[in-house]
Amino acid sequence: MSQKFDVVVIGAGPGGYVAAIRAAQLGLKTACIEKYQGKEGKTALGGTCLNVGCIPSKALLDSSYKFHEAHESFKVHGISTGEVAMDVPAMVARKDQIVKNLTGGVAGLMKANGVTVFEGHGKLLSGKQVEVTGLDGNTQVLGADHVILASGSKPVDIPPAPVDQNIIVDSTGALDFQTVPAKLGVIGAGVIGLELGSVWARLGAEVTVLEAMDKFLPAADEQISKEAFKILSKQGLKILLGARVTGSEVKGDQVTVNFTNAEGEQQQTFDKLIVAVGRRPVTTDLLAADAGVDMDERGFIFVDDYCATSVPGVYAIGDVVRGAMLAHKASEEGVMVAERIAGHKSQMNYDLVPSVIYTHPEIAWVGKTEQALKGEGVEINVGTFPFAASGRAMAANDTAGLVKVIADAKTDRVLGVHVMGPAAAELVQQGAIGMEFGTSAEDLGMMVFSHPTMSEALHEAALAVNGHAIHIANRKKR
């Protein structure tokens, strides 16, 4: 055993690096192991989120939306631009620079907080020992009082459409197109598929999204998902529900995809095909046979409400455990575990983890949906407010969508906030803050919201719950 640490973290993604930094802040001697190498062939911290997920996709989404605005919307504001063109390699290079800056920033934070970083593959052995296989192939064993498993996830592969990262790509490959494909196919109408499809549709690609499920965005509130389907379809995303891909064939620079839907056997040819059907945990070679940590058949590690595994002193967080695969969920689990190791009684409210889809308009929600609450037999009151009635949204020429607030009919406690529209992610976070402290719809309605803001839509939706909205007609007065 070469070195001994209070805490050893395997994985430096948004769960792992946050856990390592927090543990070090609490006075624990901490090490973090990461094997991922970026485009420059150097170890890059930050995991999927910073390198090939949340951050680079948002960079492309923002760049492509600015192009869309210049091309389609500036004239509404009286702005003439002449011919507008997109330099795709420059857009991708900007994305890469943002990634480089942020991953370098994480490395700096690790150093500033005294975390020892090991470059290589980490593997949990018995007795809370961790084997590190360096990039040069040499191994060493670290001792630990506590181990945090945070190895993340990777895209799911499907046999009918094997990824070659050329014509058929996964979410990582879709971030690096150097030209806009004339025809783009996307398998999967989830968060990743819709976001990446939106990027390239804005730049001129003809996008077809093939979704095997018959329902669109089933995790979202039905009213929001129906509105989202309508708006995204109008934007140019051709979303085919109940479309099951059965095979594909690459010929030259194109791929022909076979799928079945309600109309029978279908076939379409694309210049590029993105496979975005979900992600799976990275637990291959993470645990020695005698490590003692229990996993299920899909590779997820069993943990309790505090992310403790079946082995005392060993924890697992983020995408390798139950729950949504979200960077912010992983980060908060990392903080909770580090603080519990240090003796604090930290916990996490899994009922209030927000979800966001960064299309435009954004789609976001926190808490329960109307259909879920009705299924549970909960009596509810619902208030909605359209952005079409928002003065700030009108001024910004950004009026698609609505805010929806759901409250318990008996107690008025807010049980869910659902938004499709401008700044949806920020508005939902306001709802989450209130819900964490047990806010009622009346409480939100009594608060003073600055004018004019997008946030006023949340205020009005809360007022509408009890029939008190000011800037729209109330459907039912109570």
Spell out the per-residue pLDDT of the chain, length 478, in tens: 579 999 999 999 999 999 999 999 999 999 999 999 998 899 999 999 999 999 999 999 999 999 999 999 999 999 998 899 999 999 999 999 999 999 999 999 999 999 999 999 999 999 999 999 999 999 999 999 999 999 999 999 999 999 999 999 999 999 999 999 999 999 999 999 999 999 999 999 999 999 999 999 999 999 999 999 999 999 999 999 999 999 999 999 999 999 999 999 999 999 999 999 999 999 999 999 999 999 999 999 999 999 999 999 999 999 999 999 999 999 999 999 999 999 999 999 999 999 999 999 999 999 999 999 999 999 999 999 999 999 999 999 999 999 999 999 999 999 999 999 999 999 999 999 999 999 999 999 999 999 999 999 999 999 999 999 999 999 755 4
Q: Which of 146, 344, 360, 451 is catalytic?
A: 451
- Is the Cβ–Cβ distance between 476 and 415 less than 8 Å? no
For residue 192, the domain's CATH number is 3.50.50.60
Burial of 24 (0-12, 13-18, 19+ CB in 10 A): buried
- Is the Cβ–Cβ distance between 294 and 157 less than 8 Å? no
Annotation marks residue 71 as catalytic? no
**Domain co-membership, 9 together with 144:** yes
**Domain co-membership, 366 together with 399:** yes
**Domain co-membership, 228 together with 242:** yes
> What values do phi and psi take at 327, rounded to 5?
-60, -40
**Domain co-membership, 37 together with 149:** yes
Domain-located, residue 408: yes
Q: Which helix (H) or strand (E) holds 230?
A: helix 222-234
> What values do phi and psi take at 194, rounded to 5?
-70, -40
Angle between helices 424-436 and 456-465 (to 10 degrees): 50
* Token output for 68: 């869309």
Which of 235, 262, 277 marks a domain boundary?
A: 277
Residue 59 and residue 100: Cα distance in Å, rounded?
13
Using H for helix, E for strand and C for coil, what is the string for 399-451? CCCEEEEEEECCCCEEEEEEEEECCHHHHHHHHHHHHHCCCEHHHHHHCCCCC
**Domain co-membership, 263 together with 294:** no
**Domain co-membership, 266 together with 298:** no
Domain count, the chain: 3
Tens of pLDDT, residue by residue over 193-240, are 999 999 999 999 999 999 999 999 999 999 999 999 999 999 999 999
Tens of pLDDT, residue by residue over 293-334, are 999 999 999 999 999 999 999 999 999 999 999 999 999 999
Residue 17 and residue 44: Cα distance in Å, rounded?
12
Helix (H, G, I), strand (E, B) or coil at 357: strand
For residue 421, the domain's CATH number is 3.30.390.30
Domain-located, residue 474: no
* Token output for 165: 């990262």
**Domain co-membership, 204 together with 103:** no
pLDDT at 478: 45
Domain-located, residue 239: yes
Angle at 307 between CA 302 and CA 310, to 5 degrees: 45
* Token output for 469: 């909205």
Residues whose CB falls within 8 Å of the CB of residue 139, separated by 6 or more in sequence, listed in order: 131, 132, 133
Strand boundaries in 156-234, DSSP class E:
168-169, 183-187, 206-211
Residue numbers of the domain that contains 249? 168-277
**Domain co-membership, 79 together with 113:** yes
**Domain co-membership, 22 together with 85:** yes
**Domain co-membership, 7 together with 136:** yes
DSSP 297: T
- Is the Cβ–Cβ distance between 94 and 63 less than 8 Å? yes
Domain-located, residue 186: yes
Residue 178 and residue 70: Cα distance in Å, rounded?
21
Which of 259, 277, 295 marks a domain boundary?
A: 277
Which of 277, 297, 326 marks a domain boundary?
A: 277
Residue 461 and residue 384: Cα distance in Å, rounded?
5
**Domain co-membership, 17 together with 138:** yes
**Domain co-membership, 284 together with 252:** no
Domain-located, residue 192: yes
The pTM for the full model equals: 0.96
Number of H helices, E strands in the chain: 12, 21
Domain-located, residue 470: no
